[in-house]
Structure 1
Amino acid sequence: MTSRAGDPYTKRDKITPMTSDALFGVHVPACEECNAVLDTTIEKPAKPVVRQLLAHQSSPDELILTADECAALARWLLKVGLLSAHPAAEHDHPGVQRDQDLPKLAAVRAEWLDWMRTGSALPTGFSVFITRRDLRGEDAEPPQKQQIVLPRLIVDGEHRNFMSRSFGFAGVNATIVWHPGWPIEHAQVDVGRAARLWPDPDEVDFGALPPVHPKEMAFWDGSIGVVAVSAEQLERLAEHPLSVDSDPATAFFGNVYAPHE
């Protein structure tokens, strides 16, 4: 991880972006057995894919990732995103370790970590997206930015802990989102500017993706008041995916789309 939310980490002068052809690790205390499972089911399957991405850099050449490779990459990115924000995380990257403002997970749900320990499938409540980054220096921030609002959702008294994490490395920006029970319609995926790795992984030509400024679209976590619903009400709300054109709060009161719609 060499950037957070689109902003690169810097060297000691606090100006020069820190770059590396190698990926720095993040460590969370774990038993030997759990570490062995992580290595077998996450690290080893993803390593060839990550190496391809590192070697590809900013090349426009074709780089086909199979559905299985996309799934392996999604598992690895989800692991990185969750463990790097874990309250007990220790980072090899000096810029990350000294970042006092690095967001930490406000809650750590058991299902966010259980799949890592057991080698099982990713929880269905997660989505993983990637875009390409321009390694030659990004343009100024886009004048118009898009947001998808993630509500503070409570279902039958249980807080669902919707959240997102965005981070990047060597030409790739990744976003992981936890949104169980409420699907996401990603504007950049729909127009070929981003790829969805999970759920439903499919073949992706990474080389065909255009460079996208990491702040062109973002998820806003908990930026509206609490939305408290029953499971039945959530099923009705989920008929309208979370998107740049929807507002979860007004959807609850019967107005699904933003005023300009």
Structure 2
Amino acid sequence: MTITIISLLLLASLLPHLTFTARVNVGIVNGREARPHSRPYMVSIQVDGYHICGGSLISDRTVMTAAHCWNRRDILTVVVGAHDLRNSKSSDRIGVKSYIPHPQYIPYKNDILLLRLEKRVKLNRKVRLISLPNEGEDVGTDTVCSVAGWGRLSTNGDGSNVLMEADTTTINPAECQRKWGSHFLAPKMICVYGGGGSCFGDSGGPLVCGNTAIGVTSYGSRYGCNSPEQPNVYTKISAYIQWIRSKEMLSDFM
């Protein structure tokens, strides 16, 4: 495990701005504790009992997260129904049967992964699905959305045991392009900035506008969480709806 962590940290140092890797992920800074189970779609993705990424429940057997959260060697488990990760009585731990990364994923691009669970999740008040956008659906600039997760509370701080959340606002794609250059692809990405935002440990979690997940937490500045100079970037879900639905239909036979 130590060798794996060191190797991934070295890899991160070679990528000028990439922050969200399988071991160097993005948490919520300048946020607030979420009301327990007010985001019943939220999932903690873990390796050996340790939280590494967030995710969202999109069907009773499928979790959506970021492709970089899986390094193709680790065996992931998901925890549903959680608020405080120390309280196992309110949550259920489920293994992953199959991993479905986008076939064209490379760092920064097509950063989306579906996890097919070993068993169907029992939906209830604490465990529910998140709505997805229609194909091509977009949100305008200056739309107030929200993010949540169990990641770090500050750039160099500790992760949170309880689910944290923060409001954030979408930025004009041209401004994102100016700040991120060729890493930012407007048709397939969204970037946001606010008083609070994602930090290490929240990769894969949803960017939610209204009651709909419009983004998957992908990358941000390696120099500081929620940076105005390099705002957090999210995979735009509406650009991948056909792919998601095709995999969901196929998974019914898996």
Give the TM-score band, short-chain normalised: under 0.3
Name whichever structure is richer in helix by fraction.
1
Bigger radius of gyration, 1 or 2?
1
TM-score with structure 1 setting the length: 0.25
Bigger strand share: 2
